[in-house]
Structure 1
Amino acid sequence: MNSSATTPQPPTPHPPCRPAPAPHGPTAPRLLAAWYATGRSATLADHLERHGPSPVERVLTGGGSTSLVAAVEAAGLTGRGGAGFPTARKLSAVARRHGRAVVVVNAMESEPASGKDRFLLAVAPHLVLDGAVLAAAAVGGDTVHVCLPRDRSIQHEQLGAAVEERRRARLDPVRLCLHALPHAYVSSESTALVRWLNGGPARPGGGPPRSHERGVARRPTLVHNAETLAHLALVARYGSDWFRQAGTPDEPGTALVTVSGAVAAPGVREVALGTPLTTVLDRCGGPTEPLAAVLLGGFAGAWLPAADLGTPFTRRDLAPLGAAPGAGVLVALARSACGLTETARMLAYLAAHSAGQCGPCRLGLPAVAEDFAALAAGRADADLTARLRRRTALLPDRGACRHPDGAARLAASALRAFRDDVERHLDGDACPAARQAPRVPVPPAAPPETWR
């Protein structure tokens, strides 16, 4: 089920030199404010002019680290990498440990349908680096490791130039180190980053000790997604009350989303949490044709039928539907496409990109992918749907990492969202759309040649 589609490139919200006017008020862009104002990447001078000097000195003196953690907790900031874990809780867990800590910036963004972190680092690199340095100050760290995929040379050059700007300005009291890691779906998992930085393969590690206890070089280690750290930098400057002006009381703030598929203007947008999914699509020009469903959260996410697109973009509202914001991905799928065929291609990719370290990845994922390929092609046997449901129910919570859980979630959601198509395909009549060109770009399914 390898796809001939090319790997999707980082989307941009508007043409590089002509960003659309930014909205005003609580829903106005925050992370992307400088982009909307200038239409170009922010230099260090641009960054300091817009946001003022870094508050790192305040954090390092007078109990500032405690106040920063308290501000982040009051803000209600949660991780934007997918899991949505409370940021203050992670900061506190590392700060409580003995010894010099380490901060790891997870900028791998291995989710194929996502481009938000790449775009953020391209247009506001100093906001991310500020957040990493502030996090290091808050947890007693002296080193920041920034992890990027090794096949994105332009991103390395851009971020390397930003780090050099800061070095010449003698801005940071900690060491900033850029690293190029093997690019695979699971190499962005936090324990995979720690494992690689310790000289091992970029594969998830199972079992204790946890990274906050003993991570890089056996030191307490804080791993955060790039977008999360950019939000932290803004909270440190403007406070928790300002952060809560956007979003909902339970899930405050804004989030970056990557919208693609059947919309008029695909790209990266910054939206307030709680924004209805239909409104997010409308900000991308709206659907170009009637939709069957939207893939929410990426390849490890879930399909939502078009009838559910009035749902607010929050974990609380999406949970009853078996979905979550995840990595901030929305892929609009037209009715003229075959959701089962698109899902089969994604499952083949996920099966090929597992770490291959445990039974669910070595055996379970390929079996689910093969069954889904047969269903999509109209070659299903009588027991196929029962077998698929049984296998997908067995995958979650059994692997060394969460990779099998995401694949199971995707497969189960497709059986629900496209149930009418399932019946037709079970009758041996694959829909005409199954033979059309792919709608969701899926990278080649071949795994990386090396994990080191």
Structure 2
Amino acid sequence: MTTIRLPASQQPGTVLGASPHVAESADAYRATGGYDDATGPEELLAHLAASGLRGRGGAGFPAAVKLRSVRHGGGCPVVVANGEEGEPGSAKDRWLLRARPHLVLDGLVRAAAVTGAVRGFVYLSDPAAGESVRRALAEHPPPLPVEVVETDHTYVAGEETAVVRRIDGGPALPTAKPPRPFERGVGGAPTLVSNVETLARIALTAARPGQRRAIARSTLVTLSGGPAAPVLTEVPYGIPLRTLAARHGSPDAAGALMGGLFGGLVDAHALDLPLEPDALGSAGTALGCGAIHFLTPDGCPVTTAADAASHLAAESARQCGVCVSGTAAVGKALYGLAAGTAGPDTADNLHRWSQGLRGRGACGLLDAAAGIAGSLLRSFPGLVRSHLAAPCPVCADAAPADGRHRLTVAVPQVAGACPRPARVPAPPPAASPTTIPLPALKGTP
């Protein structure tokens, strides 16, 4: 079970709050300054711009810029709290909706005031989170209509165009871009699709504008990997990855899978990097949703890469032929590498796909698969060569063909979150890597 670790110096302006294991009531939230109207929309927007707050859904786009884009889009804007957590190694968004729904709804209402939105939605797939949000709406009705929209959990269901498509009554599948939701979203209106942690930090900034910089430069992270239980905690930007590994119980980590599945693999030397979006981006990796899976010294990064590629192949929306064939081919190659059955051209193929598959799908899933392949070659080239020379006993013991569960993190327990039986979505169509040919990639090796 995932545990929650409070920061060493607990400040009032934190997303975790003082009692993260208990669902927060409206009265408890108001007692900490929530739902206060002291900070108006114009002032709040100025604070957000000055703080440099970035979105916490994965892309890290500046929150103030996104708000302004919707505000100036014309018509009657819509705001959406996106709580659909597709990354298997992340638990923060579902916990936040279960434990602190008022913080998220406060942020949603303030985003609506800034953009001029006339209605809002909370979008999620976790039934317990849905019940918690509905109870919060009944406890403190917002000044605009807010509807809870549930969807089946998939990797791509939280992509912003998939969110809009589902709210409009269609399937939760990405669409071609442009237009982006800020241009034409729900019902054709300019739409803000904002991650729930982003909205929580907007609400905290409104309540404590004097702490705006600290609020913007702190983030929730989900730490997993190795024998230690997964941990959800809140940390400031700039903390070394190696310090996070030690706090998690992985002081001898051999590297990490960063940003859920999107940041790729990094080796042990990269653990000296600070947890800061620009620094990580310059090093070829990403903070993403804040999920970090540490690699154990007695494990094998090839197994982790194969697990990640398998998850992506199974979660393909199967709308883009290049995504279906590309993710399947990457997954098959990485499993062959782990199983000791890879051919001599495997490394060359992985390199070619890592370069040529990026940007060719409707969403970022194919980019993530390409990133997994490229980061393995870049961070662990010696391991790739040794796997091509002889089977790896570590990979054999890990049974990589059954390993998708190793990347999955459970939500921390929250007392009073009103769980209800979860719906079991239909499994996605099985990928067929042996029968789907990979299209030729122009301009690649």
Q: Please, what TM-score do these two structures have when normalized by structure 1? A: 0.86
Matched residue, 1:13: 4
Matched residue, 1:181: 151
Matched residue, 2:414: none
3-state SS in 1 of match to 2:280: helix
Deviation track 1:142-200 (CA, whole Å, cap 9, x = no partner) reads 21110111xx3222222221121113xxxx21111111112111111000000111122
Q: Pick closer, same or farther for the CA change 1:35–1:191 going to 2, 3 Å.
A: same
3-state SS in 2 of match to 1:134: helix
Are positions 1:44 and 2:44 aligned together? no
> What's the C-alpha RMSD, in Å, of the aligned pairs?
2.3
- Counterparts of residues 331-342 of structure 1 (less than 5 Å): 331-342=293-304
Return the match for 1:268 from 217, 232, 241: 232
Matched residue, 1:426: 388
Task: Give the CA deviation at 1:276.
Answer: 0.8
Q: Gaps (5+ residues) in structure 2?
A: 409-423, 430-445
Q: Give the whole-Å Cα distance in 1 for the aligned partners of 2:10 and 2:166.
A: 43
- Counterparts of residues 26-37 of structure 1 (less than 5 Å): 30-35=14-19
Deviation track 1:381-432 (CA, whole Å, cap 9, x = no partner) reads 1111011100121111111122111111122112223322211210132233
Is 2:326–2:357's contact at 8 Å kept on the other side of the alignment? yes
Q: Pick closer, same or farther for the CA change 1:447–1:270 going to 2, 3 Å.
A: same
Task: Give the CA deviation at 1:446.
Answer: 8.5
3-state SS in 1 of match to 2:118: strand
Q: Pick closer, same or farther for the CA change 1:201–1:281 going to 2, 3 Å.
A: same
Deviation track 1:98-155 (CA, whole Å, cap 9, x = no partner) reads 2211101110001111001112222211111100011011111121110111xx3222
Matched residue, 2:139: 165
Q: Gaps (5+ residues) in structure 1?
A: 1-8, 15-19, 247-251
3-state SS in 2 of match to 1:291: coil
Return the match for 1:141 from 103, 114, 117: 117
3-state SS in 1 of match to 2:3: coil
Return the match for 1:359 from 321, 324, 328: 321
Q: Which amino acid aligns with 1:378?
A: G
Are positions 1:231 and 2:215 aligned together? no
Deviation track 1:249-269 (CA, whole Å, cap 9, x = no partner) reads xxx521000001126453100
Q: Give the whole-Å Cα distance in 2 for the aligned partners of 1:432 and 1:308.
A: 23
Are positions 1:70 and 2:70 aligned together? no
Q: Give the whole-Å Cα distance in 1 for the aligned partners of 2:425 and 2:333.
A: 17
Is 1:336–1:433's contact at 8 Å kept on the other side of the alignment? no
Q: Give the whole-Å Cα distance in 1 for the aligned partners of 2:425 and 2:155.
A: 10
Q: Please, what TM-score do these two structures have when normalized by structure 2? A: 0.87
Matched residue, 2:288: 326
- Counterparts of residues 225-374 of structure 1 (less than 5 Å): 225-239=195-209, 241-245=210-214, 252-262=216-226, 264-284=228-248, 286-287=249-250, 290-374=252-336
Task: Give the CA deviation at 1:277.
Answer: 0.9
Q: Pick closer, same or farther for the CA change 1:282–1:439 going to 2, 3 Å.
A: farther
Q: Which amino acid aligns with 1:273?
A: Y
Q: Give the whole-Å Cα distance in 2 for the aligned partners of 1:374 and 1:446.
A: 28
Q: Which amino acid aligns with 2:240?
A: P
Is 1:377–1:434's contact at 8 Å kept on the other side of the alignment? yes
Deviation track 1:315-365 (CA, whole Å, cap 9, x = no partner) reads 221123211111101111112112112211221120121112223212211
Q: Pick closer, same or farther for the CA change 1:243–1:265 going to 2, 3 Å.
A: farther
Deviates more, 1:336-345 or 1:72-81: 336-345
Is 2:47–2:212's contact at 8 Å kept on the other side of the alignment? no
Deviates more, 1:327-336 or 1:427-436: 427-436
3-state SS in 1 of match to 2:57: coil
Q: Which amino acid aligns with 1:372?
A: L
Task: Give the CA deviation at 1:282.
Answer: 2.8
Q: Pick closer, same or farther for the CA change 1:133–1:232 going to 2, 3 Å.
A: same
Q: Give the whole-Å Cα distance in 2 for the aligned partners of 1:155 and 1:327.
A: 18
Q: Pick closer, same or farther for the CA change 1:47–1:317 going to 2, 3 Å.
A: same
3-state SS in 2 of match to 1:204: coil
Task: Give the CA deviation at 1:67.
Answer: 2.4
Q: Give the whole-Å Cα distance in 1 for the aligned partners of 2:287 and 2:407.
A: 20
Return the match for 2:178 from 200, 203, 208: 208
Deviation track 1:260-285 (CA, whole Å, cap 9, x = no partner) reads 1126453100000111112222333x
Matched residue, 2:418: none
Is 1:425–1:431's contact at 8 Å kept on the other side of the alignment? no
Is 1:41–1:123's contact at 8 Å kept on the other side of the alignment? yes
Matched residue, 2:421: none
Q: Give the whole-Å Cα distance in 2 for the aligned partners of 1:40 and 1:24.
A: 20
3-state SS in 2 of match to 1:192: helix
Q: Percent identity?
A: 39
Are positions 1:131 and 2:107 aligned together? yes
3-state SS in 2 of match to 1:48: helix
Q: Give the whole-Å Cα distance in 1 for the aligned partners of 2:3 and 2:134.
A: 21
Q: Which amino acid aligns with 1:396?
A: R
